[in-house]
Structure 1
């Protein structure tokens, strides 16, 4: 009798699981750094993608935006030029921006006698975008200046995980590494690392001459597995005195040209003066001779 009760209880549990479904178990989480290209899978794909529909939500309870309907791209949306439908009904996004994060839902709809029927269940894909920004413009970066790099993970609000340090085994963990792949910590006096907001980590440092073309990488892990990373390369602008150093060179060349012209022009000027003086002397002598002849004739 007890065994029969246990079997009944197991049967009820199994039936309850079928009725309630397994929502979230097969949800896909895709991580990408800004500027990259991403491939969002449709786990319930059918052989014919003409029935495929992709919807997008940036926030929970926000209105869904229809990106693709009936296998055709919605050209009325701003990002349509970066979207395409793959042969496996996946959604491809080129040149990802931080505004692309959110929940993407793949569905399949067929039409029978003018009525639309969904085939299969929804396939949810959460897209997480990792971005790095600098507090200084590239022209302001120079040795001795302070630069602050902010790394942020943009995620849908209803993913069930967070970026709190206390939940490294369950949540996302953001951290900075240097060019050698060594994780940067607050124990290094050269760096100041802080977390000013949700899923944000900031690296502040004073630049040295050898930091030119140096890379700092921000990475995100989930359950100790690396998901994605993004690199920021520092390119120190030219020194202000290097630009002015070119000026004396041009000035020196100009002076040399002037001196060379004077050296070659001086003899020519003197020779012309001698010729003019001789011609003037000849005219004076001819004039005196004419005066004498006129006097004699008189």
Structure 2
């Protein structure tokens, strides 16, 4: 019953909101993130620390860390750990890690620490598009706890490889933003290695940015790739034939020299 009461109190805190002790973290997929437990421990160890996680308000909070130890039954147990500061460490984060985290000490509900983990991603559509021939849409998404107000219209910025902001009225680019997603349509480009940057801005401050550079190797014409493969194969065959001829000549010459030497020996 004590654990149930603890969970209910944490949920009430999350629904009512708090005025302090809130931390927003912004990261990208694959990062290692440290979620600080911004309260003083009741002892020198983390034996009394508990970490709870909620992806959105429709799901019940899950206890990921109990008395300083990661719950081995958690689907993320292999990527979770608790450091000496009682902070929760998550390795190789994905959008599945986005959400609301609460760190608290047993029977100390008034001093809980609240952490919101946000992740920014940039992905092309279609994934294998050729910028030299196709029109590509880059999607920049900020994944975050769903119980937060939607992003403002000016929350995203798109920059080119020179750091120049791309505007809606640009002929070659079109930006469309809904909630926490912004799309950039990139039309035919001569340079398929051009880099684009998506920034998430809040309060005139860039919280995080993600880059996208098209893979030039993946956009190569299939006929050209096939021609290159054929040339390489023929080059290997010719090289092998030359080596075989060279070895044969050496063997023949060596045999002739041996015959001449044997004949001289027999005459003597």
TM range (shorter): 0.7 to 0.9
C-alpha distance in 1 between matches for 2:82 and 2:231: 61
Q: Which residue of 1 aligns with 2:209?
A: 229
Residue 228 and residue 250 in structure 1: after superposition, are their counterparts in 2 closer, same or farther (change >3 A)? closer
| Residue 77 (structure 2) pairs with residue 97 (structure 1) | no
Aligned twin of 1:24: 19
CA distance in 1, matches of 2:147, 2:234: 67
User: Does structure 1 retain, via aligned residues, the 8 Å contact 2:131–2:192?
Assistant: no
* Number of equivalent positions: 219
Q: Segments of 4+ in structure 1 off by > 4 A? A: 248-254
Unaligned stretches of 5+ residues in structure 1: 1-20, 110-116, 262-298
Extract unaligned runs of 5+ from structure 2.
1-15, 246-268
The Cα of 1:28 is off from its aligned counterpart by 0.9
Alignment of 1:1-298 (within 5 A): 23-46=18-41, 47-109=44-106, 117-118=107-108, 121-138=111-128, 140-159=129-148, 161-165=149-153, 173-195=155-177, 197-212=178-193, 214-236=194-216, 237-246=219-228, 247=230
Question: Aligned partners of 2:180, 2:109: CA distance in 1, in Å?
Answer: 37
TM-score (norm 1): 0.67
Are 2:131 and 2:187, in contact at CA under 8 Å, matched by a contact in 1?
A: no
Identify the structure with the greater helix proportion. 1
Q: 1:151 to 1:250 in 2, by over 3 A?
A: closer
Report Cα offsets for 1:52-106 as digits up to 9, x if no partner. Answer: 1000001115211111000001111111111111211111111111111110000
CA distance in 2, matches of 1:226, 1:48: 36
Counterpart-to-counterpart distance in 1, 2:233 and 2:46: 68
Q: Deviations over 1:186-209 (max 9, x none)?
A: 1221111111x3211001112423
User: Deviations 1:5-54 (Å, cap 9, x if unpaired)?
Assistant: xxxxxxxxxxxxxxxx9923221111112221211111113132111100
Given that 1:45 and 1:88 are in contact with CA atoms closer than 8 Å, whether structure 2 keeps it comes out as: no
Tell me the distance in 1 between the aligned counterparts of 2:142 and 2:31: 15
